[in-house]
């Protein structure tokens, strides 16, 4: 596909993205480097002091005490603290998906599409390595980086499985489930020096069907009173609000508000000829000109007792 300007590439969304011109301008900037400090291995203050003593310029992110922006760092994987498992390089919006799910120590949790393990390890951190996490990924080769990251970050409450997520065994039940689905990844697209962007791959029309199947299966695996968090790193309503709408039409599901204090836009009221359930406005759309990170969509959904 030929390179396109942000205005050209994202023109189908010009009416739904607030301040579309500012959004497009922001895409010419590179993604910031965010570090999640891993409190399973060291305290936030211990890790911060170690890095600042070596000259790193760290800026704390508002309302997310474990995440810092590293302003003069391009290769976090070269840090000794990375190898020691004291930190993980992770987009702020990716961290928000785990925080929005909010697992507690002692919960039984499923990460349905877990590899390479950044979000799984965050769930373990929030659970203080207590309870149980089942980290699933359908591709055996993706379990290699998953296992590596979990070991490096000191995660001990997690087992891994290898099922297609939409066929995960129904005999198991979970208190909380993270459903971070494969998506078109539009939120990761940021321009190079020429401000052009290139589509990473052709997704066709298969993704929304897979996403609906994954979300339905995840909901069926919830304990009564349980909660799931559906997330993508894309802006396409067909992969976001429309997938959640399909769940509401097929199951006794309830969209819940997300209790985080960070800039975002609400879920859409409608897209093309589709009018969504009013509760979908409680979903979050994260745009890089509002919060400088990967573009994301978050939906917190409860299974009523």
Residues near 271 by Cβ (< 8 Å), separated by ≥ 6?
16, 237, 238, 241, 242
User: Can you give the residue ranges of every domain in the chain?
Assistant: 92-183+211-303
Question: Is the entire prediction scored with pTM above 0.85?
Answer: yes
Q: Which residues are catalytic?
A: 233
pLDDT in tens, 290-300: 999 999 999 99
pLDDT value at position 304? Answer: 84
pLDDT value at position 192? Answer: 52
With a cut of 50, say whether residue 1 has pLDDT above it.
no
pLDDT in tens, 226-250: 999 999 999 999 999 999 999 999 9
Give the distance between the most distant pair of CA atoms in the chain: 56
CATH of domain 92-183+211-303: 3.40.50.150
Q: What are phi and psi of 41, to 5 degrees?
A: -115, -30
How high does pLDDT run on average in the chain?
94
pLDDT value at position 190? Answer: 85
C-alpha 301: how far from its chain's center?
Answer: 15
């Amino acid at each position: 596909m030929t390179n396109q300007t942000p205005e050209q590439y994202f023109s189908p969304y010009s009416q739904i993205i607030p301040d579309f011109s500012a959004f497009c301008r922001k895409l010419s900037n590179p993604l910031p480097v965010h570090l999640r400090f891993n409190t399973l291995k060291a305290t936030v203050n211990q890790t911060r002091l170690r890095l600042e003593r070596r000259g790193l310029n760290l800026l704390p992110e508002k309302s997310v005490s474990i995440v810092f922006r590293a302003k003069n760092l391009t290769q976090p994987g070269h840090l000794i603290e990375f190898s020691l498992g004291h930190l993980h390089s992770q987009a702020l919006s990716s961290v928000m998906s785990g925080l929005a799910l909010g697992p507690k120590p002692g919960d039984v949790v499923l990460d349905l599409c877990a590899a390479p393990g950044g979000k799984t390890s965050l769930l373990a951190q929030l659970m203080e390595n207590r309870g149980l996490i089942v980290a699933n990924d359908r591709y055996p080769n993706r379990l290699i980086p998953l296992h590596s990251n979990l070991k490096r970050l000191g995660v001990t409450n997690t087992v891994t499985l290898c099922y297609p997520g939409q066929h995960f065994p129904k005999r198991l039940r979970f208190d909380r489930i993270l459903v971070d689905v494969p998506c078109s990844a539009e939120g990761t697209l940021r321009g190079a020096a020429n401000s052009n962007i290139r589509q990473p791959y052709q997704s066709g029309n298969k993704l929304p069907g897979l996403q609906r199947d994954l979300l339905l299966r995840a909901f069926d695996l919830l304990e009564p009173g349980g909660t799931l968090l559906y997330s993508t790193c894309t802006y396409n309503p067909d992969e976001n609000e429309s997938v959640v709408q399909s769940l509401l039409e097929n199951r006794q599901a309830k969209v819940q508000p997300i209790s985080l204090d960070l800039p975002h836009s609400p879920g859409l009221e409608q897209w093309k000829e589709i009018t969504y359930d009013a509760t979908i406005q409680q979903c979050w759309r994260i745009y890089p000109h509002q919060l400088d990170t990967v573009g994301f969509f978050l939906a917190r959904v409860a299974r009523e007792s």
